[in-house]
């Protein structure tokens, strides 16, 4: 059974890949999630059993998150207990964020669940600071305590990178043999099936793409300022820029684009499915990232690399760890250097090819979901066979 709150299960690419991997192996998968149109395509699958609750309202600031998480916790508790009382569940996987389900884990164990797995995809204390700053130290401490409780309560933890693993082990005191790294790369077959479309360039010579959730911590504002320098100061007017995704900062990003007189050069797609994202990446010349979160291993970077797409990013440990030799890095926060790096890549076709080939090779040999799925399946097979804390 998989419990996911932050996004609907089949609107979350990582959860979708996990579920598809499990059902290909023959597992029955019970999914506790918010109701969403993306779930419909699996509503009749014989191995997928959907238990949906009405989506909570979008949080309006910090009080809104308390309402959302409280509501989601009680909805997940009701539906999870309903499943466990009717069906045999060997493993329950809680998808973090948020770190609120450890009380439910204890309840489910008493009802017969054998193993609790935590899938840690974000570091909530760092994420909170990136979004809101560090002024509310008491709240950050509370988030850290919830995180440790979730980690210590789990029988096994999967996480997305070596940085997350080291940080988790240092903070929680959990034994290293209870933690596994399962990355979040794309499925190679879907990458290979994507076809580019020159029309996406809107008559311009080059296309640069940014992909992700347009949230405050992703610093799309810095990306827009970089594009502003590139277009208005460096005179680069032969490139179309596309920001692919949606999120709570989208309206602000559009307003900034209008303020900087960049509407002719910058396009926003809003929410699109993965096939459409991959159509853009198969067309693009350069990928873009502007995050300042040093701990994050950006999924967008792996997707750029999968398409042989060189990209420009701020020089951060999490980014460099997965993409060294596949990207052009600049000093964190320096939008002028960021713009110049984009310009330099567009001027140098050979460097674009070299960086692209290096990144594509690493994805094909290591980072693709095709490889990560093997680790995930080995873990689930082991837990279902043994059903005990290791």
* pLDDT digit string (tens) for the chain, length 390 residues: 999 988 899 988 899 999 999 999 999 999 999 999 999 989 899 999 999 999 887 766 666 677 888 888 999 999 999 999 999 999 999 998 888 899 999 999 999 999 999 998 877 777 777 777 776 788 788 888 888 888 888 999 999 888 888 888 888 888 999 999 999 999 999 999 999 999 999 999 999 999 998 988 899 999 999 999 999 999 999 999 999 998 889 999 999 999 999 999 999 999 898 999 999 999 999 999 999 987 777 899 999 999 999 999 999 988 998 898 999 999 999 999 999 999 999 999 999 999 999 999 999 999 999 999 999 999 999 998 765 443
User: 206 in the Ramachandran plot: left (φ > 0), alpha (ψ -120 to 50) or beta?
Assistant: beta
Cα–Cα distance, 22 to 19 (Å, whole number)? 5
Kindly report the pTM of this predicted structure. 0.88
Would you say 287 and 319 are in contact if contact means Cβ atoms under 8 Å apart? no
Domain 189-365, architecture per CATH: 3-Layer(aba) Sandwich (3.40)
Q: Which helix (H) or strand (E) holds 201?
A: none
User: Which of 155, 229, 272 is closest to 242 using CA atoms?
Assistant: 272
Which strands sit side by side in the sheet containing 239-244, from one edge to the other?
266-270, 239-244, 206-211, 286-288, 311-314, 327-330
Per-residue confidence (pLDDT) for residue 389, from 0 to 100: 43
Q: Which CATH superfamily is domain 2-185+369-386 in?
A: Glycogen Phosphorylase B; (3.40.50.2000)
Per-residue confidence (pLDDT) for residue 390, from 0 to 100: 38
Sequence-distant (6+) residues with CB within 8 A of 120 are 96, 150, 151, 157, 158, 159, 160, 164, 168
Integer Rg of the chain from CA: 21
| DSSP-derived secondary structure letter, 245 | B
Q: Provide CATH 3.40.50.2000 ranges for the chain.
A: 2-185+369-386, 189-365
DSSP helix/strand/coil, 218: helix
Cα–Cα distance, 274 to 182 (Å, whole number)? 20
């Amino acid at each position: 059974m998989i419990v996911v709150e932050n996004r609907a299960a089949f609107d979350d690419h990582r959860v979708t890949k996990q579920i598809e991997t499990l059902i290909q192996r023959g597992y029955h998968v019970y999914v506790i999630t918010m109701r969403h149109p993306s779930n419909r395509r699996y509503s009749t699958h014989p191995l997928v059993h959907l238990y949906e609750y009405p989506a909570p309202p979008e949080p309006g600031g910090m009080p809104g998150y308390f309402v959302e998480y409280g509501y989601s916790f009680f909805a997940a508790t009701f539906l999870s207990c309903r499943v466990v009382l009717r069906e045999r569940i060997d493993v329950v996987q809680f998808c973090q964020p948020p770190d609120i389900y450890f009380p439910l884990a204890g309840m489910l164990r008493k009802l017969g669940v054998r193993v609790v797995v935590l899938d840690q995809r974000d570091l909530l204390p760092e994420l909170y600071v990136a979004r809101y700053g560090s002024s509310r130290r008491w709240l950050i401490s509370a988030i850290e305590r919830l995180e440790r409780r979730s980690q210590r309560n789990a029988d096994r933890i999967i996480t997305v990178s070596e940085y997350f693993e080291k940080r988790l082990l240092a903070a929680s005191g959990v034994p290293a043999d209870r933690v596994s790294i399962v990355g979040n790369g794309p499925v190679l077959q879907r990458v290979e099936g994507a076809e580019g479309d020159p029309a996406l360039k809107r008559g311009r010579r080059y296309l640069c793409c940014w992909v992700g959730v347009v949230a405050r911590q992703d610093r799309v504002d810095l990306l827009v300022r970089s594009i502003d320098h590139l277009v208005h100061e460096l005179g680069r007017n032969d490139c179309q820029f596309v920001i692919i995704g949606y999120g709570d900062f989208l309206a602000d990003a559009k307003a900034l684009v209008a303020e900087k007189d960049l509407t002719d050069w910058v396009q926003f797609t809003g929410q699109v499915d993965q096939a459409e994202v991959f159509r853009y990446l198969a067309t693009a010349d350069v990928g873009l990232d502007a995050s300042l979160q040093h701990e994050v291993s950006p999924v967008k970077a792996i997707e750029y690399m999968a398409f042989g797409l060189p990209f420009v990013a701020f020089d951060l440990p999490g980014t460099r760890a997965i993409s060294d030799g596949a990207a052009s890095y600049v000093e964190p926060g320096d939008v002028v250097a960021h713009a110049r790096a984009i310009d330099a890549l567009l001027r140098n076709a050979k460097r674009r090819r070299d960086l692209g080939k290096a990144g594509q090779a690493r994805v094909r040999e290591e980072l693709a979901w095709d490889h990560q799925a093997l680790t995930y399946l080995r873990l689930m097979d082991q837990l279902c066979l043994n059903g005990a804390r290791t």
